C-alpha cells in the first residue's frame, strides 16, 4: 500500500464524504464512552477525515481536539466546517508524526485498514498518549462487513482489518487492553497507556 495513493484516494472522495458517511449516534456514543472522551480531555483523532467525530467531542466539552489526516482535502473540509479554537488540524502521516502534546485519548475511528504499518502506528500513538491515557481503535461495522466494504474500489488502499486479539497483541507493549469487541455491529479495541517508561 502506497501512502501517496492513500492520500490521493481520500482527496478525491473528500468533496462528497459527508454526504456518503453514515453516522449512528448511539454507536458513536458507545465507542466514545469506551474511549474515555469526557470534559476537559485532550483528544488526538488519528485519520480524522472531514472531522466526523468533532461535534461529538465538542458536545462532551473536551478542551482540545488534534485532528490528523494524510489527506489535505479531507482536512480542508474539516476546517471549513468547524471554526472552534479547541480544534487543531494537522496534515501528516500519523505513523511518523512526532508527538508535540500528550493526550488523554487517542482515537482511530473507521481508519485502521488504511494504515500500511499498524505496529508503527500504535508505537507512535503510544508517544502521544499520556501515562494512563487511552487508545481506542474502532470501526462502526463488523469485520465481515469491513471485508466486503474494502473489496471494491478501496482495495488498493486497504489492508484486511486485524482481529481484535491480534491488535491487542500489537498494543500490549504500550497499552493494557481491557476492551475487545467484534460483533455484528462494531469493532472496538481499547486500552490504557502503561505507566512505566519504555
- Cα 39–28–143 angle (5° rounding)? 135
Prediction pTM value? 0.93
List 3's β-bridge partners, or say none.
none
Per-residue pLDDT in tens (0 to 9) along the chain, 198 residues: 788 899 998 889 898 888 877 778 999 999 999 999 999 999 999 999 999 999 999 999 999 999 999 999 999 999 888 889 999 999 999 999 999 999 999 999 999 999 999 999 999 999 999 999 999 999 999 888 888 877 777 788 888 889 999 999 999 999 999 999 999 999 999 999 998 544
Q: CA-to-CA distance for 69 and 74, rounded, in angstroms?
A: 7
Q: Tell me the longest C-alpha to C-alpha distance in the chain.
A: 44
Burial class (CB in 10 A: 0-12, 13-18, 19+), 160: exposed
Amino acid at each position: 500500500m502506497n501512502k501517496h495513493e492513500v492520500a490521493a484516494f481520500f482527496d478525491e472522495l473528500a468533496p462528497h464524504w459527508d454526504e456518503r458517511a453514515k453516522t449512528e449516534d448511539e454507536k458513536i456514543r458507545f465507542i466514545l464512552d469506551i474511549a474515555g472522551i469526557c470534559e476537559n480531555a485532550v483528544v488526538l483523532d488519528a485519520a480524522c477525515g472531514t472531522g466526523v467525530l468533532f461535534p461529538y467531542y465538542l458536545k462532551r466539552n473536551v478542551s482540545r481536539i488534534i485532528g490528523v489526516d494524510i489527506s489535505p482535502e479531507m482536512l480542508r473540509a474539516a476546517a471549513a466546517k468547524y471554526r472552534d479554537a479547541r480544534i487543531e488540524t494537522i496534515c501528516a502521516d500519523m505513523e511518523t508524526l512526532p508527538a508535540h502534546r500528550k493526550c488523554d485519548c487517542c482515537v482511530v475511528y473507521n481508519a485502521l485498514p488504511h494504515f500500511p504499518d499498524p505496529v508503527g502506528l500504535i508505537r507512535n500513538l503510544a508517544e502521544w498518549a499520556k501515562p494512563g491515557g487511552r487508545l481506542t481503535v474502532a470501526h462502526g461495522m463488523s469485520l465481515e462487513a469491513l471485508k466486503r466494504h474494502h473489496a471494491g474500489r478501496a482495495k488498493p488502499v486497504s489492508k484486511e482489518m486485524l482481529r481484535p486479539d491480534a491488535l491487542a497483541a500489537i498494543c500490549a507493549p504500550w497499552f493494557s487492553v481491557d476492551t475487545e469487541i467484534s460483533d455484528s455491529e462494531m469493532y472496538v479495541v481499547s486500552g490504557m497507556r502503561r505507566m512505566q517508561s519504555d
